[in-house]
Amino acid sequence: MPDAKGRRIALGCEGSANKLGIGIIAHDPITGEALVLSNVRDTFVSPPGTGFLPKDTARHHRAYFVRVAKKALALSGVSISEIDCICYTKGPGMGGPLTSVAVGARTLALLWGKELVGVNHCVGHIEMGRAITGASNPVVLYVSGGNTQVIAYAEQRYRIFGETLDIAVGNCLDRFARTLEISNDPAPGYNIEQLAKQGGRVLLDLPYAVKGMDCSFSGILGRADDLAAQMKAGEPGPDSKPFTPADLCFSLQETVFAMLVEITERAMAHVGSNQVLIVGGVGCNERLQEMMGAMAAERGGSVYATDERFCIDNGIMIAHAGLLAYETGFRTPLDESTCTQRFRTDEVFVKWRD
Amino acid sequence: MDPSPQSPPTKKRKMATSTSTSTAAAPAVVQEHQFPLPPILTHPSASPPILITQGAEGRLYKTTFFSPDIPCALKYRPPKPYRHPVLDARLTKARLAFEAKVLERCRREGVPVPAVYAQNAAAGWIAVEWIEGAPVRVKINEWLGQRPKNEEEERSAAGQDHGPLIELMKRIGAAIAGLHRTGVVHGDLTTSNMMLRPHTKKKTTTSEQTNGVSKEEEKAKLLEGDVVIIDFGLANQSQSDEDRATDLYVLERAFASTHPRAENLFEHLLESYKQSFKKGASVLHKLEDVRMRGRKRSMIG
How far is the alpha carbon of B58 from chain A, nearest alpha carbon, in Å? 10
Is B189 in Cβ contact with A270 (below 8 Å)?
no
Whether the Cβ atoms of residue A41 and residue A312 lie closer than 8 Å to each other: yes
Is A64 one of the annotated binding-site residues?
A: no
Cβ atoms of B230 and B116 within 8 Å: the answer is no
Q: At what angle do helices B241-258 and B163-181 cross, to 10 degrees?
A: 150
d(CA B93, nearest CA chain A) in Å: 14
Spell out the residues 6+ positions from residue A81 whose beta carbon is closer than 8 angstroms to its own.
A1
In tens, the pLDDT along A248-297 reads 999 999 999 999 999 999 899 878 889 999 999 999 999 999 999 999 99
Is-contact A303 A286, C-beta < 8 A? no
**Residue B300 pLDDT > 60:** no
Using the Cβ of A57 and the Cβ atoms of chain B, whether some distance falls under 8 Å is answered with: no
Q: Is 50 exceeded by the pLDDT of residue B30? A: no
The pLDDT score that the predictor gives to residue B11 is: 36
Q: Rounded CA gap, B37 and B26, in Å?
A: 11
pTM for this one? Answer: 0.79
What SS3 class is residue B182? Answer: coil
- Asked whether B87 and B102 are in contact (CB, 8 A), the reply is no
User: Tell me, what's the pLDDT at B5?
Assistant: 41
Is B81 part of the contact surface with chain A (CB cutoff 8 Å)?
yes
The rounded distance, in Å, linking the Cα atoms of B189 and B231 is 9
The percent of residues in chain B predicted with pLDDT above 70, rounded, is 74
Top-confidence residue, A220 or A273 = A220
Beta carbons of A283 and A305 less than 8 angstroms apart: yes
> What distance in Å separates the CA atoms of residue A70 and residue A62, rounded to the nearest whole number?
14
- As a whole number, mean pLDDT of residues A119-131 equals 97
Contact status of B260 with chain A (Cβ, < 8 Å):
yes
Interior angle at CA B176, CA B204 and CA B161, nearest 5: 60
* B interface test, pick of A155, A211, A265, A354 with most B CB neighbours within 10 Å: A211
Residue A143 is labelled as binding a ligand: yes
Whether the predicted pLDDT of A165 surpasses 50: yes
Could you give phi then psi for residue B126, rounded to 5 degrees? -145, 135
Over residues B61-112, the pLDDT tens digits come to: 999 888 888 999 999 999 999 999 999 999 999 889 889 999 999 999 999 9
Number of other residues whose CB lies within 10 A of the CB of residue B83? 23
Say how far apart CA B126 and CA B117 lie, in whole Å.
8
pLDDT at A305 over 70: yes
Cβ burial of B56 (10 Å; 0-12, 13-18, 19+) is buried
Strand order in the sheet with B59-64: B50-54, B59-64, B71-76, B125-129, B116-120
Contact B190 A212 (CB under 8 A): yes
Put simply, whether B189 touches A (Cβ < 8 Å) is: yes
Least CB–CB distance from A270: residue in B87, B192, B293:
B192
Q: Give the count of Cβ contacts less than 8 A between chain A and B.
A: 129
With an 8 Å Cβ cutoff, are B54 and A345 in contact? no
Residue A312: pLDDT above 70?
Answer: yes
Nearest CA in chain A to B292: A165
The mean pLDDT of chain A is 94
**Measured distance CA(A20)–CA(A157) in Å, rounded:** 27
pLDDT score at A269: 85
- Quote the pLDDT of residue B45: 66
- Count of beta carbons in the 10 Å neighbourhood of residue A67: 13
Number of DSSP helices (H) and strands (E) in chain A, helices first: 10, 12
Q: Where are the alpha helices (DSSP H) in A6-141?
A: 54-76, 95-112, 121-133
Q: What is the DSSP string of A165-227?
A: SSS-HHHHHHHHHHHTT---SS-HHHHHHHHHTT--SS-------EETTEE--HHHHHHHHHH
How many other CB atoms sit within 10 Å of the CB of residue B108? 9
pLDDT band, very low/low/confident/very high, at B257 (cuts 50, 70, 90):
confident
For chain B, where are the E strands, in sequence order?
A: 50-54, 59-64, 71-76, 116-120, 125-129, 134-135, 184-185, 194-197, 226-229, 236-237
Give the gap in angstroms from C-alpha A30 to the nearest C-alpha of chain B: 30
Q: What is the DSSP string of A287-318?
A: HHHHHHHHHHHHTT-EEEE--HHHHS--HHHH
Q: Where are the beta strands (DSSP E) in B122-256?
A: 125-129, 134-135, 184-185, 194-197, 226-229, 236-237
Domains delineated in chain A: 8-127+311-347 (3.30.420.40), 138-307 (3.30.420.40)
Report CA-CA distances (Å) from A337 to A90, A98, A115, A313, A325. Answer: 8, 12, 10, 21, 15
How far apart, in whole angstroms, are the C-alpha atoms of residue A308 and residue A292? 17
Q: How many alpha carbons lie under 13 Å from residue A37 in its C-beta half-sphere?
A: 28
DSSP B68-86: TTSEEEEEE-PPPTTS-HH
What's the Cα-to-Cα distance from A327 to each of A36, A335, B220, rounded to whole Å? 17, 21, 44
Encode pLDDT of B273-283 as tens digits: 999 999 999 99
Residue B24, pLDDT above cutoff 50: no
Measured between beta carbons, the chain B residues lying within 8 angstroms of A318 are none
Task: Delineate the domains of chain B, giving CATH numbers in brackets.
Answer: 27-129 (3.30.200.20), 134-296 (1.10.510.10)
Dist CA A223 CA A216 (whole Å): 13
Asked if A53 reaches chain B (Cβ–Cβ under 8 Å), the answer is no
| Segment 169-208 of chain A within 8 Å of chain B by CB | 171, 203, 208
Q: Give the residue with greater pLDDT, B150 vs A116.
A: A116
Residues A214, B254: C-beta atoms closer than 8 Å: no
Q: Which stretch of B173-182, B201-210, B246-255 has the lowest confidence by average pLDDT? A: B201-210
Q: How far is B88 from chain A (nearest CA, A)?
A: 9
Instruction: For residue A177, give the nearest of A190, A168, A167 by alpha carbon.
Output: A190
pLDDT at A123 over 60: yes
- When pLDDT is averaged across residues A170-189 and rounded to a whole number, the result is 96
Amino acid identity of A317?
M
Q: Do A269 and B83 touch (CB under 8 A)?
A: no
A331 interfaces chain B, CB cutoff of 8 Å:
no
Q: In terms of C-beta distances under 8 Å and separation of at least 24 residues, what long-range contacts does A304-309 make, across chains too?
A: A304/A129, A304/A133, A304/A134, A304/A135, A304/A138, A304/A275, A304/A276, A304/A277, A304/A278, A305/A129, A305/A133, A305/A277, A305/A278, A306/A128, A306/A129, A306/A132, A306/A133, A306/A279, A308/A284, A309/A39
Please report which confidence band the pLDDT of residue A12 belongs to, taking 50, 70 and 90 as the band edges.
very high
Active centre residues of B (catalytic): 188
State the pLDDT at residue A27. 96
- Gap between the Cα atoms of B27 and A283, Å rounded: 42
User: E strands along B180-220, which residues?
Assistant: 184-185, 194-197
Cβ-proximal residues to A237 (8 Å cutoff; 6+ apart), any chain: A202, A204, A243, A247
| Contact between chains at A16 and B301 (C-beta distance less than 8 A) | yes
Per-residue pLDDT band at B153 (split at 50, 70, 90): low
